[in-house]
Amino acid sequence: MKEINHLNTKVGFIGIGVMGKSMALHLIKRGYQVFVYNRTESKAKELIEAGATWKSTPGEVAKECSVIITMVGYPHDVKQIYFTDNGILQNASEDSIVIDMTTSSPVLAQSIYEEAKKRGIYSLDAPVSGGDIGAKEGTLSIMVGGDKDIFECVVPLLNLMGKNVVYQGKAGNGQHTKMCNQIAIASNMMGVCESLAYAEKVGLDPETVLKSISYGAAGSWSLSNLVPRMIIGNLEPGFYVKHFIKDLKIALESAEEMKLYTPGLEKALSLYEKLAKIGHENSGTQALIELYRA
């Protein structure tokens, strides 16, 4: 396997969303030749201006690059960009490495791995956590499943986008780990919102309360990073409600298959579905506070 560095590796990046744009920009800034595709070309404008090359299909990206990273919205998007005639697996060269960083189905990750292997292509599932802030600062947590030697090969690349890059085992395990992450966040977000709603109802200064509790046993990423947004009414997405609903549904389906009891997950999903129905599907996950303030 050829060493991956900015001198000999062309990198494809498919999916230029809230997080994908920042992630790709880190690669460009470190000298990688990056080829991009997105369903909406205008969203790639900043990357193109920074030096990226636009391609009109995922297949064209795959033909050009030895490492192809994908970061799209839903499992059906992943299927489309990997398995169609103009997709990645049909057009990538042998010994290419594909890295799906979308939060998607563990079963789908395993399917990509198996089909890629038939074609002499290496596959990793590497979902991330950290939201828009982590993507911008290059401090994402990256959870990786697949062959360990391939993981070790791409670690230098992943380290440009994240500060906590951990190998989790076989194909699909990256996605399973992300489900653990989302399950933990789901119940935590309910607690965070209830805490803020309580503070506001009793007449406390929420910012002063935050100074006390964010450094104690109640401390969490959501408390420190999302409650300040809730306090000022900033509902802009670091991570979309609609995508969180997708993640929670995947986690719940997996839990049900294992006959695992997850009441917190079930309740959180019902609340986020209610939030989407009242018009917040494109808001950030911190918009959950709106249900508690209603």
Shortest CA distance to 66 belongs to which of 21, 41, 35, 109? 35
Residue 226 structure tokens? 């999302």
The CA distances from residue 162 to 33, 74, 154, 155, in Å, are: 19, 22, 12, 10
Rg of the chain taking only CA atoms, in angstroms:
20
CB distance 245 to 293 below 8 Å: no
Asked about 178 being catalytic, the answer comes back as yes
Exactly one of 21, 63, 178, 246 is catalytic; name it.
Answer: 178
Contacts for 196-204 with beta carbons within 8 Å, 24 or more apart? 196/227, 196/230, 196/231, 196/289, 196/292, 197/289, 197/292, 197/293, 200/293
Q: What are phi and psi of 147, to 5 degrees?
A: -75, 135
CA dihedral 224, 229, 230, 231 (to 10 degrees): 90
Quote the CA–CA distance of 167 and 150 in Å, as a whole number.
Answer: 10
The CA distances from residue 23 to 82, 129, 138, 172, in Å, are: 20, 12, 7, 22
Quote the CA–CA distance of 3 and 198 in Å, as a whole number.
Answer: 54
Active-site residues, by number, are 178
